[in-house]
Amino acid sequence: MRMESARNFKIAMLLGAFTLLCHWSAYRVGAAYMNSDFSVYYLFSDHVGTSNPFFYFQSNYGGTLLGHLRALFASIISPFLNNQEFPRFEANQIFTFLFLPSLLSIVTYFSALRFATRSGAIFAALIVGAGIQYWIHRMGSDFYWIIVFFGLGGLALRTRYENPCVEMDKKKLFLFSIAAGLALYSSKLNFVFVICFFFPITKKFNRKELVPRLGLVLAGLSLGLVPDLFFRSSSPNTLETTYSLQSFSAILDTLMHRIPLAIRELCTGYPHLLVHKGGEKYFSYALFFFGFLATLRNLRKRPPFIAPLLGSAALTILYCALFRTYDVAPSRYLFPLLPFFAISLALAWDSARQKEKWILLVVAVGHLSFHLQDRYQSYFHYAPTKDSLTDAVRVFRQVDGLKVVLSDDYWASNTYTALSQGQPFFVSTGTRFGPEEGFLLSDTETKVGLLLSHPLSVSSVQRGGRDCAVSPLGKGEKYYYLANCGRSD
């Protein structure tokens, strides 16, 4: 048993190392992948432990268990990094582009072992580790990562029980219920796995024993949701998701058109964000199809194992089809399919005959080729953008006493702040989205920086009822100015 565990540990570490190599180029230019939405995870991590740790958008975009782990990770390793300018940002980059993908391949391997042989689990971990979807692997979305980790762990644990509410040890049942509540705090999409975990496959249970155990589950879930309740009661500007049923025609359109399109995006990423446009992406689609067929094939053989797996996929599709939350970025709502996809790949390998395994290998190589080529080409494509971001922060950091910079680029303002760690803050002149401290400074400071996408043709500007004398600081990809403003009347 010990030898088996040691062997699995070595394999998992090798899988993690392989994944790390696959993502190295993304780590080097990761700042250019970011935008104001995805920089929130870095900003949240920087605010943990300070006097103002909660953003008004915290619960929706960064206030997750993973966000606190990110903060701890960055605090531990940033002092040891050979980066004097942006140590905290680099620590966040390592967490996003190296640690999390490597951890995903390791978790996939151990979870798949509950469903498949070692060779099947290795096959699944290699495919998932090299890259599945743009939002997770390139943007480091803690909000979505937690869905995949909780799904893989929950589905793997579910294989031990036909009816967890009755069969699990009471202490373990209570602890898992707390974890489920915390997962729901991190992302409400985890409801898919909570339902599939607790739903009984067999009807053989003692009702008298079941009732107090259900009470234990509800108590654990409530305890796990305490951070969410605390946040919502203390943050008046919380973003709320509205749920309303779609019309019958909209449901059909979602099932026939939008969900198939979103599954393709889930496998490869959004077409307009991909640098590599090669046809190898069709191999990624084929893998999803093979995995789905293999899961159906295994349903008869091992229903206690496969039913919750298929149930999680069915609930995800049903949720997307019925409710009008399916917006312009549809694949984000299909993230609960990724654990299903990962485990189904292991089942596909185990179900394949010898000749079919060769076909699977060819398809897998095509899939890996697509993602690795896109990452390699992205390195050269995004390197100038990454340099432009760091150059702008350096320019404004050199101005004594400068605490805030106004930017006309909403999509990058939070990225600049994440790089600078709020020294200075960069705030958007458009939508008010970012650390509130920055916006307060922009209203009160007499000296502000201007980061603009176009040159100014005047020597003074108006800002909040104040006259501001403008002087140029230089030019990079954008235009840098310093504005000295009088106090408002």
- Kindly report the average pLDDT of the chain as a whole number: 85
Residue 40 lies in a domain: no
Let me know: does 72 contact 91? Beta carbons within 8 Å.
no
Let me know: does 147 contact 338? Beta carbons within 8 Å.
yes
Do residues 214 and 250 both lie within one domain? yes
**pLDDT band at 464, cuts 50/70/90?**
low
Q: Which of 189-203, 206-220, 372-386, 457-471 has the highest mean pLDDT?
A: 372-386
Report pLDDT for 39. 86
Q: Give me the domain span that covers residue 228.
A: 2-33+64-378
Kindly report whether the peptide bond that precedes residue 424 is cis, defined as omega within 30 degrees of 0. yes
Let me know: does 292 contact 344? Beta carbons within 8 Å.
yes
Do residues 343 and 436 both lie within one domain? no
CA distances from residue 279 to 10, 130, 168, 369 in whole angstroms, order as listed:
35, 18, 47, 10
Per-residue model confidence as pLDDT tens digits over 32-80:
888 888 888 888 888 776 655 555 445 455 557 788 888 899 999 999 9
Do residues 289 and 247 both lie within one domain? yes
Report pLDDT for 144. 83
Question: Longest Cα pair distance anywhere in the chain, in angstroms?
Answer: 81
Do residues 423 and 451 both lie within one domain? yes
Structure tokens that stand for 151 in this block: 């799904």
Helix runs in 275-409, H state only: 281-299, 303-322, 337-351, 354-397
Per-residue model confidence as pLDDT tens digits over 95-145:
999 999 999 999 999 999 999 999 999 999 999 988 776 666 666 678 788
Do residues 233 and 326 both lie within one domain? yes
Let me know: does 360 contact 342? Beta carbons within 8 Å.
no
Per-residue model confidence as pLDDT tens digits over 301-312:
888 889 899 999
Do residues 420 and 324 both lie within one domain? no
How does DSSP assign 141-170, residue by residue? -HHHHHHHHHHHHHHHHHTT-SSHHHHS-H
Share of the chain above pLDDT 90, in %: 39
Report pLDDT for 429. 86
Do residues 440 and 365 both lie within one domain? no
Residue 58 lies in a domain: no
Structure tokens that stand for 219 in this block: 């108590």
Do residues 277 and 406 both lie within one domain? no
Residue 156 lies in a domain: yes
The Cα–Cα gap between 429 and 261 comes to: 35
Residue 204 lies in a domain: yes
Do residues 144 and 261 both lie within one domain? yes
| Entry pTM | 0.90
Q: Which of 378, 407, 431 is the last residue of a domain?
A: 378
Do residues 462 and 370 both lie within one domain? no
Domain count, the chain: 2
Q: Which of 378, 395, 424 is the last residue of a domain?
A: 378
Using DSSP, state whether 265 is helix, strand or coil: helix
The Cα–Cα gap between 457 and 472 comes to: 11
Per-residue model confidence as pLDDT tens digits over 242-289:
567 788 888 888 888 888 888 888 888 777 778 888 888 889 889 989
Do residues 363 and 453 both lie within one domain? no
Do residues 216 and 88 both lie within one domain? yes
